Chains A and B, each alone.
Chain A
Amino acid sequence: MKKNDGSQCGTCDTCGKCNDQNDCGIRMYTLIIYSENIAGLLNQITAVFTRRQVNIESLNVCASSTPGVHKYTISCYCTEEMVKMLTKQIEKKIDVLQANYFLEDEIYIQETALFKLSTPVVLSNKNVSRIVRFHDARIVEVNPNYVVVEKSGMTDDILALYEKLKDCDCVLQFARTGRICITKGCVELLDEYLKVRMMKYDLQKTQQQ
């Protein structure tokens, strides 16, 4: 996806403005962070980005598959050098278990969007339902006033649908979630980490006895 808001380096294709010969190294990175479920941690994690003047493009926080462990999925545009630094500084927080960063092709990414469309326009403009079907979106609610359409997919798919619906002048509201991801690798990094930590703990206890 090309960005044109001027927030990136402004000199290469990956960040939106310049050509690839002039690669500034800025990429979309996604950090997956696991922490203990403790209030106030989100603040500490986002503060690391603020201090380094990196804008967060997307953020999602939810419970993970490990009981008591929270998962943060944060995307941002920056250089690899910067993302390494961010990752280490986040991992340094006492209650953060693990932080890793990934490029787009190392993770499965999904976002969901909801569109509230005007029913009279949808009925009068045949294109709207064609667009909805073409983009594989779902209609989840219909009433005389509005139609609710749901679409899951990558950022680009969702934005493409939004642009087309906007052209039909039928969008009353639009909302998009932060991206959620799972890694493609076969090793579950968090499980490995917790296993090693518990082994260390047992060893420490045995040594103390």
Chain B
Amino acid sequence: MSERVTGSEALMRSLENEGVTTLFGYPGGAIMPVYDALYDHRDTLNHVLVRHEQGAVHAAQGYARVSGKVGCVIATSGPGAMNTITGIADAMIDSTPIVVICGQVGAAMLGTDAFQEVDVIGVTQPITKWAYQIRRAEDVAWAVSRAFYIAKSGRPGPVVLDFTKNAQTAVVEYESAKVDFIRSYVPVPEWDDNVILQAATMINASKKPFVLVGQGVELGEASCELKAFLEKAQIPAGCTLLGLSALPSDHPLNMGMLGMHGNLACNVKTNECDLLIAIGMRFDDRVTGNLNTYAKQAKIIHFDIDPSEINKNVKVDLAVLGNCKDTLAAVTSLVKETNHQEWVDSFKPYAEREYEKVTKKALAPIDGPLLMSEIAHKVSEATNNEAVLVTDVGQNQMFSCKYFKFTHAHSVITSGGCGTMGFGLPAAIGATYGAPERTVCMFTGDGGLQMTIQELGTIMEQGSPVKIILLNNNFLGNVRQWQYLFFNKRYSYTPMVNPDFELIAKAYDIPSRTVILREDLDDAIREMLETDGAFLLQCVVKEEDNVLPMTPPGANVDEMILEIE
């Protein structure tokens, strides 16, 4: 029996039907009827009031990445919607399932440059998986269901629903809708037995296979299948930045991180293997370096759910389309139990060389100021490597991702493809809702923190237990490193004059501590982790530290700089 309700009430019911429990948002004129309806659903829909709409989207991303569910955002029209753009673009390139619902002026006023009117669909179409304008209350149930289906299925991504004010207030017979099929959209391509057989044959024939693990493994919930595959055929693997927690860090076949600041062994072996097996990754330029010399000696198999990723950057010999959870299992059943011990052992000398030249100094410096690397390592250890790592962007991101260790899937939340500074703090807030039982450690720099620092207000209001580790070098460190290396040490606008971050934390009622000396670090980390709720740990770190090793942009992937004079 259907009931007559407003479009806004229909939206609330549709969200509940989709299993939404947490919303991140910010009210405004053109979304007020929705907020009015939300007032009656406070028991079931927990709305987190952020301090800026960009924060809402990053929070939804953090929520989605840690929980595997769809993150949901509500914002108003015009400026509210425009403030969500950075987060939407970030979610698109990092395949994060979110649904952003924006208010819009009434349908009769569309196109008239009405107050707070922006062509949201026009602006968001290129950076969303789907963008749709709801102009009639009758369409609400269908559009919301379709939005969640599209955001979550196949290769996930962001969806925008632009909700005109007349549709929010109009009264309609509400009937729930369930979209689970769109004839023009094939979320998961069907896998082909012949291709699986070919892949297995290539793998069985290979003497020196190497696996590249991407976020697709996490998105496909295929960590177990990946482990079974690697272990059966004894194939060493490297992970992309977003795929770091798809395979436990201490797994004997996990050789570390790929790419520009990845591990030496992984990058050298990419150009030595005879078979490169890419799983749920997209050969980003930060992973491949110079494409003209990338893995030219190897045959390449690419497992992916998205046909448009095949042959986009790197030409492959075999494409295995489908969800890697299924395709990996199918291939595993056909590969022979093998022992590539000699090949696996050949990674060791490179790992040792990196340890001698880089890691040893990074983790156990004898003197001098604190290093970002040792802090990341110690925080990870203090959490038994079980925490969720959220990072901002820059040196703090590279150091923390390199030296944090992971034991569970869905443990690394970072802005990969977009490299959005300011991502960390709001994403960490979202992660505390997505995984309330886990410790969330957020590494940030003095630059990135100040891009979304207003979200400390959200932490204060919500009591979000975010452990903020501020690696303060009074520099925009990553740009400074590049200026040092490639711009003749001309530090153009990278030194920063910073506020007293402890005073800021105090203003937001967040306990804090500053560490300068190495001997205080352990105790400070202990205090941070033992404190209930949020904590700001400011670490005064070496001003001019460099992330190493490094493949310079455009260089061959195996030509890594290990030392800088």
Closest to A90 in B: B308
Kindly state whether residue B182 has any CB partner on chain A within 8 Å.
yes
User: Which of A19-27, A92-100, A106-114, A148-156 has 4 or more CB atoms under 8 Å from chain B?
Assistant: A92-100
Among B121, B183, B308, which residue has its beta carbon within 8 angstroms of that of A85? B308
Name the distance in Å between B107's Cβ and chain A's nearest Cβ: 13
Residues of A within 8 A of B185 (CB): 94-95
Q: B282 on the interface (CB 8 Å rule)?
A: no
- Contacting residue for B129 out of A35, A88, A94, A96, CB 8 A: A94
Answer whether residue B150 sits at the interface, using C-beta atoms and an 8 A cutoff.
yes
Give the residues from 302 to 336 in chain B that come closer than 8 angstroms, CB to CB, to chain A.
Answer: 306-308, 310-312
- B183 / chain A contacts, CB cutoff of 8 Å: 97, 194, 197-198, 201
Residues of B within 8 A of A89 (CB): 308
Return the chain A residue nearest B190 by Cβ.
Answer: A200
A47 in contact (CB, < 8 A)? yes
Residues of chain A lying within 8 A (CB to CB) of residue B180: 204
Interface residues of A in 162-197 (CB under 8 A from B): 194, 197
Cα A201 to Cα B179 in complex, Å, equals 12
**B184 in contact with A97 (CB, 8 Å):** yes
- Tell which of A35, A88, A204 touches B181, judged by Cβ atoms closer than 8 Å: A204
Bound-state CA distance A200–B180 (Å) is 12
Q: Which residues of A contact B182 (CB under 8 A)?
A: 94
Does B122 interact with chain A (Cβ within 8 Å)? yes
Chain B: interface residue total (CB-CB under 8 A)? 20
Q: Which of B126, B129, B310 contacts A47 (CB 8 A)?
A: B126
If over half of B's interface residues share one DSSP class (helix, strand or loop), that class is named, otherwise mixed; here it is loop
In the complex, the answer to whether B308 meets A88 with C-beta atoms within 8 Å is: yes
Q: Check if A144 is an interface residue, CB within 8 A of chain B.
A: no
Chain A 26-53 per-residue mask, 1 if CB under 8 angstroms from chain B, else 0: 0000000001100010011001000100
Cβ A96 vs Cβ B125 within 8 A: no
Q: Which residue of A lies closest to B185 (CB)?
A: A94
* Chain B window 143-185, contacts with chain A (Cβ cutoff 8 Å), 1 for yes, 0 for no: 0000000100000000000000000000000000000111111
Interface residues of A in 126-142 (CB under 8 A from B): none
From residue 70 to 118 of chain A, which have CB atoms closer than 8 A to chain B?
Answer: 81, 84-85, 88-89, 91-92, 94-97
A interface: dominant SS: helix
Chain A residues within an 8 Å CB radius of B482 = none
Q: Specify which chain B residues have a CB less than 8 angstroms from the CB of A204 in the assembled complex.
A: 180-181
CA distance A194 to B207 in the complex (A): 44
B130 within 8 A of A: yes
A35 touches B312 (CB 8 A): no
Once bound together, how far apart are the Cα atoms of A81 and B313, in whole Å?
11
Given contacts A88-B308, A92-B308, contact A36 B184 (CB under 8 A): yes
The residue in chain A whose Cβ has the minimal distance to the Cβ of B180 is A204
Q: Which residues of A are found within 8 Å of B125, using beta-carbon distances?
A: 40, 43-44, 47
Determine whether the beta carbon of A84 is less than 8 Å from that of B311: yes
* Shortest distance between the CB of A76 and any CB in chain B (Å): 18
A44's nearest neighbour on chain B, judged by CB, is B125
Inter-chain CA distance A89–B306, complex, in Å, is 10
B94-149 with Cβ < 8 A to chain A: 121-122, 125-126, 129-130
* CB under 8 Å from chain A, chain B span 252-295: none
Give every chain B residue within 8 A of A194 (Cβ-Cβ): 183
The answer to whether B184 touches A95 (Cβ under 8 A) is yes
Question: How far is the CB of B315 from the nearest CB of chain A, in Å?
Answer: 9
CA distance A200 to B186 in the complex (A): 10
Q: Bound state CA distance, A43 and B121, in angstroms?
A: 11
CB–CB B181/A201 < 8 A: yes
Task: Tell me, in angstroms, the Cα distance from A81 to B316 when the chains sit together.
Answer: 13
Cross-chain pairs A/B with CB under 8 angstroms, 11 sampled = A43-B122, A43-B125, A81-B311, A85-B308, A89-B308, A91-B307, A92-B308, A97-B183, A194-B183, A200-B181, A201-B183
Instruction: In the A-B complex, list the 8 residue pairs whose CB atoms are closest, starting with the nearest.
Output: A88-B308, A97-B184, A197-B183, A94-B130, A92-B308, A94-B185, A201-B181, A89-B308
Q: B residues engaging A (CB < 8 A)?
A: 121-122, 125-126, 129-130, 150, 180-186, 306-308, 310-312
Given contact pairs A94-B184, A201-B183, a sample of 17 additional A-B residue pairs in the complex whose CB atoms are under 8 Å apart: A35-B184, A40-B121, A44-B125, A51-B126, A85-B312, A88-B307, A89-B308, A91-B308, A92-B306, A94-B130, A94-B150, A94-B182, A94-B185, A97-B183, A197-B183, A197-B186, A204-B180
